[in-house]
Amino acid sequence: VLDDSPTKRIGGDILKGFKKYTHKKRLYSLDKCQTAEELKKWTEKIKTTYPDAFFTVEYKLDGLSVNLLYTDGVLKTAATRGNGSVGEDVTAQIMTIKSVPLKIPFNRTCEIQGEVIMRKSSLKKYNEKNPDTPLKNERNAAAGAVRNLDPKVTASRKLDVITYAVGYIEDGDFDTQSGLVEFLKSNGFRTAEYFKKTDNLEYLIDYIGEIEKERGDLDYLIDGVVIKVDDLNIREELGYTEKFPRFAIAYKFEATEASTIIKDVIWQVSRTGKLNPLAILEPVEIGGTTVSRATLSNMSEIRRKDIKINSKVFVRRSNDVIPEITGIAEHYADSVDVIPPAVCPSCGSHLKCDAVFIYCTNPENCRDITVSKITHYASREAMDIVGLSEKTVEVFYDKLNVREVQDIYKLTVEELTALEGFRDKKAENIINSIEISKNAEITDFVYALGIENVGKKAAKELASNFGSFESIKNSSVEEIEQIRDFGAVTAKCVYDFFRNEKNLKTIEEIFSSGVKLMIPEKKEEKTGIFTGKTVVLTGVLKNYKRSEAQSIIAANGGDVADTISKKVSLVIAGADAGGKLEKAKKLKIEIIGEDEFISLINRRFMT
């Protein structure tokens, strides 16, 4: 078999374990900075000794670092970073990656450093092919594939290696980072698209801004920018600290992911009776916020991700969403499996399971279900009863026998004042806000009822399409299905809700306690830059919550839709946009990014 035979790429036998590999030259990690000020300090320090120094600017690739040893022009070993001095031999795995040359023209010994990555497009394709075992995150997918003992698994993930450094080299003939990158390219290695060189701090900062802007459009993850002194002789003189080279620094973008330990998994009973597992985490800072809880969806996700209590996991936080666990970083000797509860953790009733979810079978008498139904009814987006928080509802349930939504209207100031912690004012305030909330908008009330699948937007559609609460109540499945964005499932949920005796009794009692529904006057049609346009938002916006962006579009005359169809005329794509963006491209719908969106709405103020 030749050194560069394609048969080496297929992936041979499953290994028993990884051998150790001692790197010829230690793999350092990089010192970090996060502000222009810190970067300025770093460049100024170098400039005081080397006033003519140039700096290079590269992507900081977010994958798994790998060190490739070539002797006589042949790939001999590929190893992970490990502790920087000794890593694990993953040669069989790395050989399956097509962008790693098995033979190179340079025929002396060298060690090439790079990052194993999985492209976003490859992850998407992989997930389309493997819908039952989808991969969530490109970095973890790449790391997991390289550390898998079966090289065939590595091959199936279609990974890539992008190189950026040369550790050891026997008689190399370049003396700058620019020359080093040329050397890599001319030997058939892949390097990142972006590479700039400057001796000017202002330009450096501009380049970083440029990269941060295009970050979302790249086909792979980057978590910052690496700035290096270009001249290798200066590098030699600057040398290393205990941990880092003095000649390079990473400018890190705000983190969205970190790793931490799962201390426990608890089960919360939701309004619908579904038991939601919640991971209790060792608190960890992610992008300026302390995260101590993460959602886990259901048991099948827990099993698929191999989540165990006392294990280290990756946690991701993005705007607006509850943090989620994207994968396992490490199991330990005391890691234990998550065991689903045997009975409802709130009321002790039997549980029932469907394909993936677990439900309480006694919703009528379950404390947590009742409490969250009432809390939802009182919430800001619903009846907006100020002061009726979850904690307060719990007290009312436990001490005042509040068992159904309508019971809150029977409460008196005297009853509340008698409770511990409810001074006169607090009791009065709550009773007052219950009274004030009795004049409710029909949309808020429909949403407050907590009909399955009916969120605020659907409630609004129901109200505006049927015009009165009575008409909603009496509508047929077919009539409901006519509404845009309403499918058969939601239509049936609405229909069934109003055929349930208990629900009808609740509604009747709410009305007889004085709740009156207002039908908002038809507001004059808003006109503006989005008039006549149906707009879809996709991906993550940096500057707006999704609800804020929706309000801006509506205030400027646009209609917001959830799904891409021919009716859609404009798509606003934030970071990490996926399927919807692809579909919009196929349908040739106009697509703009967040910056364009911002400049469109700003232009409005200028004209």
Is 60 catalytic? The answer is yes
164 counts as binding ligand IVH under rule CB under 6 A: yes
- Alpha carbon of 81 to those of 26, 52, 73, 88, 458: distances in Å? 9, 33, 22, 7, 51
**Is the CB of 61 or the CB of 454 nearer to ligand IVH?**
61
Cα–Cα distance, 262 to 310 (Å, whole number)? 5
**Is the CB of 259 or the CB of 429 nearer to ligand IVH?**
259
Number of residues that bind ligand IVH (CB under 6 A): 16
- Residues ≥6 apart with Cβ < 8 Å to 422: 416, 430
What crossing angle do the helices spanning 390-400 and 367-378 adopt, rounded to 10°?
130
- One residue of 123, 238, 249, 250 binding ligand IVH per CB under 6 A: 250
- Residues ≥6 apart with Cβ < 8 Å to 290: 283, 284
**Is the CB of 58 or the CB of 461 nearer to ligand IVH?**
58
58 counts as binding ligand IVH under rule CB under 6 A: yes
Contact (CB, 8 A) for 419 and 394: no
257 counts as binding ligand IVH under rule CB under 6 A: no
- Alpha carbon of 565 to those of 307, 535, 569, 588: distances in Å? 38, 10, 9, 11
Return the C-alpha torsion angle 251, 255, 258, 263, nearest 10. Answer: 140
- One residue of 8, 21, 23, 28 binding ligand IVH per CB under 6 A: 28
Cα–Cα distance, 561 to 567 (Å, whole number)? 9
**Is the CB of 151 or the CB of 245 nearer to ligand IVH?**
245
Cα–Cα distance, 314 to 328 (Å, whole number)? 6
- One residue of 23, 30, 155, 317 binding ligand IVH per CB under 6 A: 30
Q: How far is the CB of 463 from ligand IVH (least distance, A)?
A: 52
Tokens at residue 256, please? Answer: 């969205």
Cα–Cα distance, 371 to 368 (Å, whole number)? 5
Tokens at residue 437, please? Answer: 């909330």
Contact (CB, 8 A) for 143 and 43: no
Cα–Cα distance, 76 to 424 (Å, whole number)? 79
User: Considering only 55-63, 95-103, 364-372, 575-583, which stretch makes contact with ligand IVH by CB under 6 A?
Assistant: 55-63
- Alpha carbon of 345 to those of 272, 359, 369, 584: distances in Å? 15, 11, 11, 44
- Alpha carbon of 401 to those of 164, 196, 225, 360, 396: distances in Å? 67, 69, 59, 21, 6
227 counts as binding ligand IVH under rule CB under 6 A: no
**Is the CB of 229 or the CB of 383 nearer to ligand IVH?**
229
Catalytic residue among 8, 60, 460, 580: 60
- One residue of 29, 85, 107, 476 binding ligand IVH per CB under 6 A: 29
Q: How far is the CB of 64 from ligand IVH (least distance, A)?
A: 8
User: Considering only 100-108, 243-251, 253-261, 519-527, which stretch makes contact with ligand IVH by CB under 6 A?
Assistant: 243-251
Contact (CB, 8 A) for 315 and 260: yes
**Is the CB of 250 or the CB of 307 nearer to ligand IVH?**
250
Q: How far is the CB of 30 from ligand IVH (least distance, A)?
A: 4
**Intra-chain end-to-end CA distance of the chain, in Å:** 71
- One residue of 57, 117, 146, 165 binding ligand IVH per CB under 6 A: 165
* DSSP per residue, 491-528: HHHHHHHTT-HHHHHHHHHHHHTT-EEE----PPPP-S
Kind of pairing between the strands at 110-117 and 64-71: antiparallel
- One residue of 11, 245, 273, 558 binding ligand IVH per CB under 6 A: 245
Q: How far is the CB of 217 from ligand IVH (least distance, A)?
A: 18
> x/- contact string, 280-319, with ligand IVH (CB under 6 A)?
----------------------------------------
- One residue of 65, 91, 406, 534 binding ligand IVH per CB under 6 A: 65
Q: Which residue is nearest to ligand IVH (CB)?
A: 65
Q: How far is the CB of 200 from ligand IVH (least distance, A)?
A: 20
**Is the CB of 250 or the CB of 454 nearer to ligand IVH?**
250
248 counts as binding ligand IVH under rule CB under 6 A: yes
User: Considering only 147-155, 242-250, 367-375, 532-540, which stretch makes contact with ligand IVH by CB under 6 A?
Assistant: 242-250
Tokens at residue 55, please? Answer: 């700096």
How many Cβ atoms sit within 10 Å of the Cβ of residue 339?
Answer: 9
Q: How far is the CB of 115 from ligand IVH (least distance, A)?
A: 5
**Is the CB of 164 or the CB of 530 nearer to ligand IVH?**
164
- One residue of 18, 55, 57, 60 binding ligand IVH per CB under 6 A: 60
Cα–Cα distance, 203 to 210 (Å, whole number)? 10
User: Considering only 57-65, 259-267, 369-377, 422-430, which stretch makes contact with ligand IVH by CB under 6 A?
Assistant: 57-65
Q: How far is the CB of 571 from ligand IVH (least distance, A)?
A: 32
138 counts as binding ligand IVH under rule CB under 6 A: no
**Is the CB of 53 or the CB of 395 nearer to ligand IVH?**
53
Beta bridge partners of 308: 337
**Is the CB of 165 or the CB of 184 nearer to ligand IVH?**
165
Query: What residue has token string 């990555």?
Result: 117
User: Considering only 52-60, 263-271, 390-398, 597-605, which stretch makes contact with ligand IVH by CB under 6 A?
Assistant: 52-60
Kind of pairing between the strands at 312-316 and 570-573: unpaired
- One residue of 57, 61, 79, 536 binding ligand IVH per CB under 6 A: 61
Contact (CB, 8 A) for 539 and 569: no
> x/- contact string, 91-130, with ligand IVH (CB under 6 A)?
------------------------x---------------
Cα–Cα distance, 143 to 122 (Å, whole number)? 15
User: Considering only 24-32, 198-206, 369-377, 531-539, which stretch makes contact with ligand IVH by CB under 6 A?
Assistant: 24-32
**Is the CB of 225 or the CB of 570 nearer to ligand IVH?**
225
User: Considering only 28-36, 48-56, 332-340, 368-376, which stretch makes contact with ligand IVH by CB under 6 A?
Assistant: 28-36
Number of residues in the chain: 607
Residues with a known catalytic role: 60
Instruction: Note the residues at the interface with ligand IVH (CB under 6 A).
Output: 28-30, 58-61, 65, 81, 115, 164-165, 226, 245, 248, 250
